[in-house]
Amino acid sequence: MAYKTLTTWPGAWTCSMHIPTAAPLAAVRQALDDLADATGWPVNAFAYGTADTVDELLIYRDPSQRHGIPSVIESEGAAHTLAAASGWTLATNQAPARGILVGFELREGYEPDAPLHDIGELLNVLPAAELTSCRQAWLISARGTRRRQELCAVLRGSSELLPAITIAAGKFQQERFVVTDLAQQRVYAMQREMSDGD
């Protein structure tokens, strides 16, 4: 299964946030939805924890072929707005600083009843030597009226990991994934060749 670069933008911004008092996933999701509604900023975040407790977020930018991408300055402003509204703590010094970052959804495609894989299956097809970390998280997205929440694996590693991620994306029937490339300071979306875009 072939993938193509759909859209590329400069800047590899991410922001880590700590939630001092672990919150239910639903409450975290509501806070992110409220941020999108109040500011118009397209929210994309990885929520680390379980459905009962989330204590850490990693916010990132997701480029859209139709809508573009918010600037780094706009993204920093949105993160500060979220921190002020929620009481959560910005921890920018703990955000990824090198290599690539990819949120790899564990469900095939976009249908809610599609097969859901576990993180162990993904690890079995990725080269451990190129993988810095692999953490399970909830991918939360809020852009306009579109809202998504999916279980994912947050992958960090060297740029040499990307070919294996692309092969795994085909194996796991992924339509699209986003690469934040900290070495080249850019963010881009990879789309399955037969898909129509985002």
Q: Under a CB-based contact definition with an 8 Å cutoff, are residues 134 and 154 in contact?
A: yes
Number of structural domains found in the chain? 2
**Could you tell me if 155 and 88 lie in one domain?**
no
What domain range includes position 33? 8-94
| 116, two tokens | 């859901």
**Could you tell me if 184 and 172 lie in one domain?**
yes
pLDDT in tens, 156-177: 999 999 999 999 999 999 999 9
**Could you tell me if 67 and 107 lie in one domain?**
no
Does this model's pTM top 0.75? My answer is yes
**Could you tell me if 102 and 165 lie in one domain?**
yes
- CATH code, domain carrying 57: 3.30.70.240
Name the residue among 117, 116, 109, 113 with its Cα closest to residue 195: 109
Q: Sheet of 131-143: strands edge to edge?
A: 3-10, 186-192, 176-181, 100-105, 146-157, 131-143, 43-49, 54-60, 14-23, 89-90
User: So what's the pLDDT on residue 21?
Assistant: 92
| 85, two tokens | 């509204």
For each successive 10 residues of the chain (198 residues), what is the average pLDDT? 91 95 94 96 94 92 89 96 96 85 96 95 94 96 92 96 96 96 96 70
Dmax over Cα atoms in the chain, in whole Å? 44
